[in-house]
Chain A
Amino acid sequence: MWKRNTSYNMTIREKITAWEPAAEWSAEGDGMLTVPVETFHDLAVRLKREGFDFLRSLTGMDWGEGRFGAVYHIESTATGENIVLRVFTPAPDKCGLPSVGDVWKGALLNEREAYDYFGIQFLNHPDMRRLYLRDDWVGHPLRKDYDPALNPLRMNNEVSQDSTPHFELMPDGSLIRKREVIFDEGEYVINVGPQHPATHGVLRFRVSLEGEIIRKLDVHCGYIHRGIEKMCESLTYPQTLALTDRLDYLGASQNRHALCMCIEKGLGLEVSRRVQYIRTIMDELQRIDSHLLFFSCLCMDMGALTAFFYGFRDREKVLDILEQTTGGRLIQNYNVIGGVQADIHPDFVRRVKEFIAYMRPTLREYHEIFTGNVIARQRLVGTGVLTREDAISFGATGGTGRASGWACDVRKRHPYAMYGEVDFDEVLFTEGDCYARYMVRMREIEQSLRIIEQLIDNIPEGEYRTKTKPVIRIPEGTYYSAVEGSRGEFGVFIESRGDKSPYRMKFRSTGLPLVSCLETIARGAKIADLIAIGGTLDYVVPDIDR
């Protein structure tokens, strides 16, 4: 996988070097191109025209000595080519980068995140508010010289601003600050969350209504922003593993798998086939667990409380299997660098098979109780449509993207673990409405069962854990690994300087793109549909906020 990517990079790399002779290639780790900031926006437009329409990840950076910038991971959905670009801010004291939000819409929230973390101002970005932290927060926490004493706990309530600053570059090179209005005085704005049962956590929207119709939607994140990325910078690599489980707790196993893969890639460590089998099976069990919870919660939001109990009843069966082997129900802490924590339980194979035999007919029961229901269909079919172009532009991967017809499954795009060798279908729908998003996940349970079935009898003998050095140091460079989490591409970006802890660790959230496309989906819909839309997007809030 790794070699193939490099060879692909050659072609687009050459193209970029031809357009932009000043671009520099640095080969450490995954390798990346450093491009000049002055022409970066033009380059982005050009790349988009070349088919690079999917911005996988945008990472703000502080390289020390006042050098700030961002790293962009871009993929072409047509060819699968990848390129990593790096841009520095023009001068140490000036923190301005051109916004690429007009090229890839998914960049908009990511740029706000980078502004929040590092104070990098993005020029021509329409909305330069903080994304996670309070408006009265002092300083930018991910800067290397940040002093936590500046921000004691403030207990006064926050006032939501109705306008937002935005920066424009003048021809003479100076910046001017403008204000953009979010909500007019005359608009009828209602607040949803952060304490609201249908937001699935502590997410907050401000919705401008015209009668029942949503005209504008403003997302407020950060109510569960735990600062995991900053914490990772002072932890050793094995210590960072524990935090990934708590990001998207319904994809605990997959998240940790991604981080282990990324570190193993940096170390050049091969894990045994037994480990690959176990990890794949665990990931799929986790996916079933997550999709069952999705089904339960969506049904509960739609008023079908019986279905909620059905889903949870069967979810417990998965958790039992996970617990027997890993010791954890929800958060397993199972994957470690070089393998897994412990060998599978002697009963594991038998119980998984029993579960598969039980789950197939039960799914039919689900369809009888909820899928065919008239009320459910009326609320789901045709509401909240996301087009394929928007899904790609926002980077809304996972079930949401596949419901819009975008084949975005990382298991197929960049096969890892055993996914290259098993036979399964990527579930695709084209409608892009709530019903399609719901059906994708229900069908994916079947596919997950199919994957497990192919692997469970053939788990090879071998070591369940490769011995690693007591102190793990990754060679200098940048590394990016992604897995298909329960709700989309979960990526880990590590910049290492050869120390025992990462210089920068970024998690590509699966939920942030889903939240950023929410406004596009919800605009024009009824306020009651917002619940169905939110439910079928299936975001997990701690994963958005990190």
Chain B
Amino acid sequence: MKYEDFIDNEYLEKMAEQLREGGTNVVLGCLDDLINWGRSNSLWPLTFATSCCGIEFMAVGAARYDFARFGFEVTRASPRQADFIMVAGTITHKMAPVLKRLYDQMADPKYVIAVGGCAISGGPFKKSYHVVNGVDTILPVDVYIPGCPPRPEAMLYGLMQLQRKVRLERFFGGVNKQIGKKEYEELMRRDLTAEKIDLNVETEHKL
């Protein structure tokens, strides 16, 4: 929210002035900015990689490129604790439902980065019988990082684009609840009785 959008700026500023005179330090700002500042600087990735790009992802985490400088170092092995998923590598037909399931297990707000040619479009394996042509056919992708594999610098640039995106979001009433109240309740109830629906399994085998 911009400064001009506040309706009673004057009243707030006067109050702050009074408080400062009394010796209390007050800073006025927007809570969304504060939260987004925190969120964008501690994005936790899921340790997920299928192929070559995963090695470069590891290199980004290691000594020279060190993504801890930007707050990405807490890689989580469980999707339930991760903020975003780097789809690093080719996604095949057999992997696609697994990836979807991982994404579904992540808590909102969550983000997806498609790393490398394979995740963007199928890359060199576009014509293969077993490769998904672009991970955006199954997941909503926030940032694309092209390359085969992308250089670590490119990955850092892509990660920083994600940070930019996070900073511009409205957290309250926005990304913290991306769905309506009714839908939300339904989802919660479904989580409790998660059996067949969440397992996404066809009961009958078609051959």
Q: What CA separation (Å) do A316 and B206 show in the bound complex? A: 49
Q: Of all chain A residues, which has the CB nearest B203?
A: A159
Identify B130's interface contact among A201, A226, A329, CB under 8 A. A226
Q: What CA separation (Å) do A246 and B199 show in the bound complex? A: 33
Shortest CB distance B78–A (Å) = 9
Secondary structure at the A interface, as helix, strand, loop or mixed, is loop
- For residue A211, which residues in chain B have a CB less than 8 angstroms away from its CB? none
Are B63 and A316 touching (Cβ within 8 A)?
A: yes
Are B58 and A312 touching (Cβ within 8 A)?
A: yes
Shortest CB distance A470–B (Å) = 22
The answer to the question of A243 belonging to the interface, with a C-beta cut-off of 8 Å to chain B, is: yes
Q: Given A153-B96, A201-B49, A249-B52, do A313 and B64 touch, yes or no (CB 8 Å)?
A: yes
Are A134 and B129 touching (Cβ within 8 A)?
A: no
Taking CB atoms and an 8 Å cut-off, the chain A residues in 227-245 that contact chain B are 227-228, 230-231, 234, 242-243
- For residue A226, which residues in chain B have a CB less than 8 angstroms away from its CB? 90, 92, 125, 128, 130-131
The answer to the question of A202 belonging to the interface, with a C-beta cut-off of 8 Å to chain B, is: yes
Q: What CA separation (Å) do A37 and B153 show in the bound complex? A: 56
| Chain A proximity mask over B1-28: 1 for CB below 8 Å, otherwise 0 | 0000000000000000000000000000
Shortest CB distance B116–A (Å) = 10
| Chain B proximity mask over A194-233: 1 for CB below 8 Å, otherwise 0 | 1111000110000000000000000000111111101100
The answer to the question of B89 belonging to the interface, with a C-beta cut-off of 8 Å to chain A, is: yes
Q: Given A141-B130, A230-B128, A312-B58, do A155 and B52 touch, yes or no (CB 8 Å)?
A: no
Shortest CB distance B47–A (Å) = 5
Q: Given A156-B200, A157-B199, A226-B90, do A542 and B52 touch, yes or no (CB 8 Å)?
A: yes
Identify A156's interface contact among B89, B151, B202, CB under 8 A. B202
| Chain A proximity mask over B82-102: 1 for CB below 8 Å, otherwise 0 | 000000011011111110111
The answer to the question of B124 belonging to the interface, with a C-beta cut-off of 8 Å to chain A, is: yes
How many chain B residues touch A (CB < 8 A): the figure is 48
Q: Of all chain B residues, which has the CB nearest A138?
A: B207
Q: Of all chain A residues, which has the CB nearest B85?
A: A195
- For residue A153, which residues in chain B have a CB less than 8 angstroms away from its CB? 93, 96, 132, 137-138
The answer to the question of B148 belonging to the interface, with a C-beta cut-off of 8 Å to chain A, is: yes
The answer to the question of A95 belonging to the interface, with a C-beta cut-off of 8 Å to chain B, is: no
Shortest CB distance B129–A (Å) = 5
The answer to the question of A5 belonging to the interface, with a C-beta cut-off of 8 Å to chain B, is: no
Are B51 and A224 touching (Cβ within 8 A)?
A: yes
- For residue B124, which residues in chain A have a CB less than 8 angstroms away from its CB? 242-243, 246
Number of A-B contacts (CB under 8 A): 138
The answer to the question of A136 belonging to the interface, with a C-beta cut-off of 8 Å to chain B, is: yes
| Chain B proximity mask over A138-171: 1 for CB below 8 Å, otherwise 0 | 1001000010100101111111000000000000
Are B94 and A230 touching (Cβ within 8 A)?
A: no
- For residue A154, which residues in chain B have a CB less than 8 angstroms away from its CB? 93, 97
- For residue B96, which residues in chain A have a CB less than 8 angstroms away from its CB? 153, 155
Shortest CB distance B117–A (Å) = 10
Are B130 and A227 touching (Cβ within 8 A)?
A: yes
| Chain B proximity mask over A363-391: 1 for CB below 8 Å, otherwise 0 | 00000000000000000000000000000
The answer to the question of A464 belonging to the interface, with a C-beta cut-off of 8 Å to chain B, is: no
Q: What CA separation (Å) do A315 and B51 show in the bound complex? A: 18
Identify B129's interface contact among A136, A195, A230, CB under 8 A. A230
- For residue A331, which residues in chain B have a CB less than 8 angstroms away from its CB? 52, 148-149
- For residue A104, which residues in chain B have a CB less than 8 angstroms away from its CB? none
Are B100 and A155 touching (Cβ within 8 A)?
A: yes
- For residue A222, which residues in chain B have a CB less than 8 angstroms away from its CB? 92, 94
The answer to the question of B168 belonging to the interface, with a C-beta cut-off of 8 Å to chain A, is: no
The answer to the question of B55 belonging to the interface, with a C-beta cut-off of 8 Å to chain A, is: yes
- For residue B131, which residues in chain A have a CB less than 8 angstroms away from its CB? 226-227
- For residue A224, which residues in chain B have a CB less than 8 angstroms away from its CB? 50-51, 89-90, 92, 95
Q: What CA separation (Å) do A146 and B129 show in the bound complex? A: 10
Secondary structure at the B interface, as helix, strand, loop or mixed, is loop
Are A133 and B130 touching (Cβ within 8 A)?
A: yes
The answer to the question of B48 belonging to the interface, with a C-beta cut-off of 8 Å to chain A, is: yes
Taking CB atoms and an 8 Å cut-off, the chain B residues in 114-157 that contact chain A are 124-125, 127-132, 137-138, 148-149, 151
The answer to the question of B175 belonging to the interface, with a C-beta cut-off of 8 Å to chain A, is: no
Q: Given A156-B200, A157-B101, A226-B131, do A134 and B94 touch, yes or no (CB 8 Å)?
A: yes
Q: What CA separation (Å) do A158 and B55 show in the bound complex? A: 28
The answer to the question of B59 belonging to the interface, with a C-beta cut-off of 8 Å to chain A, is: yes
The answer to the question of A308 belonging to the interface, with a C-beta cut-off of 8 Å to chain B, is: yes
Are A201 and B202 touching (Cβ within 8 A)?
A: no
Q: What CA separation (Å) do A246 and B127 show in the bound complex? A: 15
The answer to the question of A23 belonging to the interface, with a C-beta cut-off of 8 Å to chain B, is: no
Are A136 and B207 touching (Cβ within 8 A)?
A: yes
Are B51 and A542 touching (Cβ within 8 A)?
A: yes
Shortest CB distance B7–A (Å) = 48
Shortest CB distance B140–A (Å) = 15
Q: Of all chain A residues, which has the CB nearest B79?
A: A195
Are B201 and A541 touching (Cβ within 8 A)?
A: no
| Chain A proximity mask over B41-59: 1 for CB below 8 Å, otherwise 0 | 0000001111110111011
Q: Given A196-B77, A197-B77, A330-B56, do A228 and B125 touch, yes or no (CB 8 Å)?
A: yes
- For residue A315, which residues in chain B have a CB less than 8 angstroms away from its CB? 59
Q: What CA separation (Å) do A246 and B122 show in the bound complex? A: 13
Identify B63's interface contact among A133, A197, A312, CB under 8 A. A312
Q: What CA separation (Å) do A202 and B49 show in the bound complex? A: 8
- For residue B47, which residues in chain A have a CB less than 8 angstroms away from its CB? 197
- For residue A188, which residues in chain B have a CB less than 8 angstroms away from its CB? none
Q: What CA separation (Å) do A389 and B138 show in the bound complex? A: 46
The answer to the question of A260 belonging to the interface, with a C-beta cut-off of 8 Å to chain B, is: no
- For residue B100, which residues in chain A have a CB less than 8 angstroms away from its CB? 155
Known contacts A157-B201, A195-B48, A242-B124; 4 additional CB pairs below 8 A are A133-B94, A153-B138, A222-B94, A296-B62
Closest 3 A/B residue pairs (Cβ): A312-B62, A313-B63, A227-B128
21 A–B contacts, CB within 8 A, in A order: A141-B129, A141-B130, A151-B129, A155-B138, A158-B94, A201-B49, A223-B50, A223-B92, A224-B51, A225-B92, A226-B92, A227-B125, A227-B130, A230-B128, A243-B125, A246-B51, A246-B52, A249-B51, A308-B62, A312-B62, A316-B63
